[in-house]
Structure 1
Amino acid sequence: LRFYINIAVLLLLLLLLLLYAEVKEGEILPPTIQKLMKGYNKYLRPFFDNGPVTVGMSLDIASIDTISEINMDYTATIFLRQRWTDERLVFEGNKSLSLDGRLVELLWVPDTFIVDSKKSFLHDITVENRLIRIFPNGTVLYALRITTTVACNMDLTKYPMDKQTCTLQLESWGYNINDVMFYWARGNDSVSGLDTLKLAQFTVEDHYTSVSEAVYETGNYPKLIFHFELKRSILYFILETYVPSSLLVVLSWVSFWISQSSVPARVCIGVTTVLTMTTLMMGARTSLPNANCFIKAIDVYLGICFSFIFGALIEYAVAHFCTLQHPDYKNALMVRQDHHHHHSVHHRLCCFLR
Structure 2
Amino acid sequence: MSRDLLSPRCTTAAEEPANVKCKQKFTLGHKVDTTDYRVTPSLPGFGNLTKGYNRYLRPNFGGAPVVIAMSLNVASISSISESDMDYTATIYLRQRWTDSRLVFHGNKSFTLDARLVKYLWVPDTYIVESKKSFLHEVTAENRLIRLFSNGTVLYALRITTTVACNMDLSKYPLDTQTCKLQMESWGYDENDVLFTWLRGNDSVYGLENLRLSQYTVERYCTLSTMSHQETGVTTVLSMTTLMMGSRNSITKTNGFIKAIDIYLGICFSFIFGALVEYAVAHYIMSQKCASNKPEKGSPNDAPTENEDITITSILNTSVTSYNQKINFSVIDNDNCSGLTMTPKDKMRVIFKNKMHKVIESFTIQNPGNIDHYSKLLFPSFFVLVNLVYWAYYLMF
Q: TM-score, normalised by structure 1?
A: 0.53
After superposition, what is the alpha-carbon deviation per residue over 1:99-137, rounded to whole angstroms, capped at 9, x for unaligned?
A: 001101000000000001000000000000000000000
Q: Compare the two structures and name the one with the higher helix fraction.
A: 1
1:84 aligned to which of 82, 97, 116: 97
Aligned residue in 2 for 1:197: 210
State, as a whole percentage, how many aligned pairs show the same letter.
66
Distance 2:128 2:47 in 1: 36
The DSSP-based 3-state class of the residue aligned with 2:189 is coil
C-alpha distance in structure 2 between counterparts of 1:42 and 1:35, whole Å:
15
Partner of 2:59: 46
Deviations 1:213-266 (A, max 9, x none): 110259xxxxxxxxxxxxxxxxxxxxxxxxxxxxxxxxxxxxxxxxxxxxxxxx
Q: How big is the shift at 1:34? A: 2.4
Corresponding residue for 2:83? 70
Residue 215 of structure 1 corresponds to 228
Which position in structure 2 is the counterpart of 1:144?
Answer: 157
Q: Which runs of 5+ in 2 are unaligned?
A: 1-34, 36-40, 232-396
CA distance in 2, matches of 1:176, 1:100: 30
- Which structure has greater strand proportion? 1
- After TM superposition, where is structure 1 displaced by more than 6 Å over at least 4 residues in a row? none
Quote the Cα distance in structure 2 between the aligned partners of 1:140 and 1:188: 22
Whole-Å separation in 2 of the counterparts to 1:97 and 1:62? 25
- How far, CA to CA, are the matches of 1:35 and 1:130 in structure 2? 25
Distance in structure 1 (CA, Å) of the matches to 2:230 and 2:213:
42
Match of residue 166 from structure 1: 179
**Take 1:151 and 1:75, find their aligned partners in 2: how far apart are those partners?**
9
Paired residues in the alignment total: 193
Equivalent position of 1:156 in the other structure: 169
Alpha-carbon distance in structure 2 between the residues aligned to 1:149 and 1:186:
25
The one-letter code sitting in structure 1 at the alignment partner of 2:63 is N
Alignment partners' CA distance in 2, 1:36 and 1:76: 38
Name the counterpart of 1:302: none
Q: Deviations over 1:75-101 (max 9, x none)?
A: 000000000000000001111010001
| Residues 256-301 of structure 1 deviation map (CA, whole Å, 9 limit, x = unaligned) | xxxxxxxxxxxxxxxxxxxxxxxxxxxxxxxxxxxxxxxxxxxxxx
Residue 29 of structure 1 and its aligned partner are, at CA, apart by 1.9
Of 44, 53, 63 in structure 2, the residue corresponding to residue 29 of structure 1 is 44
In the alignment, the residues of structure 2 paired with residue 207 and residue 217 of structure 1 have an alpha-carbon distance, to the nearest angstrom, of: 28
1:23-72 CA distances to partner (integer Å, 9 max, x unpaired)?
xx86x921xx2222200000000001221000000000000000000100
Q: Structure 2 CA distance, aligned partners of 1:115 and 1:217?
A: 15
Instruction: Tell me the distance in 2 between the aligned counterparts of 1:34 and 1:166.
Output: 46
Q: Deviations over 1:138-190 (max 9, x none)?
A: 00000000000000000000001100000000000000000000000000111
Counterpart CA distance in 2 for 1:122 and 1:34 is 30
Amino acid at match of 1:51: A
Partner residue, 2:339: none
Gaps of 5+ in 1: 1-18, 20-24, 219-354
Corresponding residue to 1:103 among 110, 116, 120? 116
SS in 2 for 1:133: strand
Higher RCO, Cα 8 Å, sep 6+: 1
